[in-house]
Structure 1
Amino acid sequence: MVYKSKPEALAALKAAGIERDAFSIPETAAILGYSEGFLRNLIHRGEGPRVITAGARKIITTEDRQSWLRQRAAAAAS
């Protein structure tokens, strides 16, 4: 069995046309082009996207990520 890094696995899913509604913090960081530490710091300071706890996992929905990006863009424009 071949194991892939999270960014590689994410790219493989996207290439296969599989859409997901939620991603882990490391996956979200890869999507945004941020380091995982930077995203975790934003979340810790209350400046990151909303995080949902699902069992032991912490996930960020696509909708919450996109909403957060729109808010950041609006704040930067004003």
Structure 2
Amino acid sequence: NDTDLTQSIIELLIASGTHTDCLDDQRRLPEQCAKHTKIRQLLHSKRSMSLKCQCTHLIISQEIQYESYLSETLKKFILLHQF
């Protein structure tokens, strides 16, 4: 069924390093966009943050001014995690 296929695709993406703590253009986490409870639970259970993600969340929560100090790549990474 479609839910099983979706679950398989999500597991493949997660195994490939997808960041499940990134936000969409409406500032929603993937688990908030999922329509099926099984998929929401899967996304929530796999949401672990790397040190890079943890640092990003710290920068955001503490409102640290980073724009003058980081590369464009890191700035984009931070924007993907902004709540």
Give me the TM-score of the superposition, normalised by structure 1. Answer: 0.28
Greater RCO (CA < 8 Å, at least 6 residues apart): 2
Q: Which structure's CA Rg is the greater one?
A: 2
Q: Which has the higher strand share?
A: 1
